[in-house]
Amino acid sequence: MTWYILKLLILLPLIGGMIWGSLKLAKRMQGQFGAPQRGERAVRIVETVMLSPTMRLAVLEFHGREILVSTSKGGLVRLAEAPARPRPLELDEAELAE
C-alpha cells in the first residue's frame, strides 16, 4: 500500500506537469504551422459579426479583395466581393508619445 501511495505522489504531479506543458506548447505554436515565415499572411480577417449562435458574417481580405462570407455549421458561403479598402495608417509608439 505504501508503494502505491509513493508512486501516486510521484507520478500524478509528473503527468499533470506534462499535460500543462503540452497545453502551453500547443498554445504557443498555434498558427505557426503552414503560415509564411516572413511578411504578411495571405488572408486577413477584417471584421466579424455574429447573427445568431450558429451563424456569423465575416469580411476577409485576400490578395487585395474583400470577400463577405457567411459561416454556419454547414460551412462557408461567399456572399459578395469588392476591392479592398485602404488600411488606416498605424501609428508607431513614438508618434503617439508626441
Beta bridge partners of 38: none
Grid coordinates given for 97: 508619445
CA distances from 86 to 38, 42, 45, 49 (A): 22, 16, 14, 21
User: According to the model, what pLDDT value does residue 63 have?
Assistant: 87
User: According to the model, what pLDDT value does residue 11 have?
Assistant: 94
User: According to the model, what pLDDT value does residue 16 have?
Assistant: 96
pLDDT, tens only, 71-92: 999 898 999 998 888 876 655 5
Residue 31: φ, ψ to 5°: 85, 0
pLDDT along the chain (98 residues), means of 10: 90 95 88 62 87 92 91 91 77 52
User: According to the model, what pLDDT value does residue 90 have?
Assistant: 56
